[in-house]
Chain A
């Protein structure tokens, strides 16, 4: 019952959030600021994680490819599939759920407990729309680029590791990357990431918006935001994958 109560509250909040903004120019400015906070500020951590994961994936795959019957191009092919289908859209989104989710929940939660949201409401501003919609839009606009960047950086990291440590030749690796390439997989990854961005921003905003009490409660709502958005992300990953690729 509790689940349905909270889910209903979440839907009502989304209904309030998806309304026409009061001042369009101000709204665009907010979206740009949020793109900076959600998107640009995540590029560094995403790049670092991606380059190392790409390299490690290549080393681990190479370690399991001692059998001469396995074609040499498998290394590049395997890395490409792992990165495009799962690592960049899902694992990177999970990492961002921690980084962005906690930031959104604590920011909105602090505004709630310090009565800043009440101040907006009293002024006649739709606080859900004002605070949440720019974050959702910024997330939806940023995530596809973050995911594409992650793909490029992971594959580059994998390539460098493969060539530098002699796990594969450059030609074999690149031919693996090109082998049986289905462009739709990129679209699938972007679609997933876009949906995940919506889940992360909206669920985190929900937990922040309904925070109450003081600093400890804001911390708790921030933790809940990360936990619930991660669970929602994993569940929807399964459903989307089954629907599209299953």
Chain B
């Protein structure tokens, strides 16, 4: 579980996150949604330590990530996997080398065990045929799957996904969503997903947090999402012409 308490973050005069408090539950897909510029990426980067919050605390199973020293952070980082919007695979390495990389750096496994583990992760995401291909030689969806394989190679307790299906066709996007859902449940991972894809939210939102202008504006789950009475969230959900037409009238 990740417990975020009263996080604030400013850049110069711009107050991006305003007293954000959230709980991300274990074994569930915790979604952060919001318009572009609402602060959700900044929040995600604070969670993984790429940005330092101005104040507040981020508790990973009770351990405060904000106040702990570098070495203690390293230990938590080994429990974190991250799927980036652009996959962020190392482009000089093959898929296999990308997945092996965290194992080479951090695991106590011997060479054979590392290869077995990497093969297992690659097979788990259905990329068996792309072992020896470079990221530039595979499709966007395959890159995302390779990035998921890399993210789970060290058996993470926490998985962060930044817009996992952006840039993908709807069918591939749904496949990636399903894969993340399966992995979350299979390994009981605390998964935090930053998205503004309505399909993902409606289908996979176990715990949905709507961020509006840097504040937590609404919290709920997929069953209460469409029927909410929050005007800003309703505006966000029914923002396209097609969705406006099916918006329930009250």
> Residues of A contacting B48 with CB < 8 Å?
122
Chain B residue with Cβ nearest A117:
B88
**Is B84 in contact with A123, judged by CB distance below 8 angstroms?**
no
Interface presence of B133 (CB below 8 A): no
**Is A23 in contact with B105, judged by CB distance below 8 angstroms?**
yes
What are 6 of the A-B contact pairs (CB < 8 Å)?
A26-B105, A114-B91, A116-B91, A118-B88, A119-B82, A119-B84
- What is the interface size of chain A, counting residues whose CB is below 8 A from a CB of the partner? 15
Chain A interfacial positions (CB closer than 8 Å to B): 22-23, 26, 110-111, 114-116, 118-119, 121-125
Partner pick for B104 among A23, A116, A118, A121, CB 8 A cutoff: A23
**Is A124 in contact with B104, judged by CB distance below 8 angstroms?**
no
> Residues of A contacting B88 with CB < 8 Å?
114-116, 118-119
Supposing A23-B104, A116-B90 touch, asked if A123 and B77 sit within 8 A by C-beta, the answer is yes
**Is B50 in contact with A26, judged by CB distance below 8 angstroms?**
no
- What is the interface size of chain B, counting residues whose CB is below 8 A from a CB of the partner? 20
> Residues of B contacting A122 with CB < 8 Å?
48-50, 77, 80, 82
Bound together, the chains give a CA A122 to CA B80 distance in angstroms of 8
**Is A123 in contact with B102, judged by CB distance below 8 angstroms?**
yes
**Is A124 in contact with B74, judged by CB distance below 8 angstroms?**
yes
Of A110, A115, A121, chain B has the most CB atoms within 10 Å of the CB of: A115
Bound together, the chains give a CA A124 to CA B74 distance in angstroms of 5
**Is A115 in contact with B84, judged by CB distance below 8 angstroms?**
yes
Interface presence of B85 (CB below 8 A): yes
Bound together, the chains give a CA A125 to CA B48 distance in angstroms of 13
The 4 closest A-B pairs by CB, nearest first: A124-B77, A115-B88, A119-B88, A124-B74
Interface presence of B56 (CB below 8 A): no
Interface presence of B11 (CB below 8 A): no
> Residues of A contacting B49 with CB < 8 Å?
121-122
> Residues of A contacting B102 with CB < 8 Å?
123
Closest Cβ of chain A to B196, distance in Å, is 18
> Residues of B contacting A114 with CB < 8 Å?
86, 88, 91
Interface presence of B117 (CB below 8 A): no
**Is B105 in contact with A22, judged by CB distance below 8 angstroms?**
yes
Partner pick for A115 among B77, B86, B104, B105, CB 8 A cutoff: B86
> Residues of A contacting B106 with CB < 8 Å?
123-124
> Residues of A contacting B85 with CB < 8 Å?
115
Interface presence of B78 (CB below 8 A): yes
**Is A26 in contact with B84, judged by CB distance below 8 angstroms?**
no
New A-B pairs, 13, CB < 8 Å, besides A26-B104, A122-B49, A123-B80? A110-B91, A111-B90, A114-B88, A114-B91, A115-B84, A116-B90, A118-B88, A119-B82, A121-B49, A122-B50, A122-B82, A124-B78, A124-B106
Partner pick for B84 among A22, A110, A111, A118, CB 8 A cutoff: A118
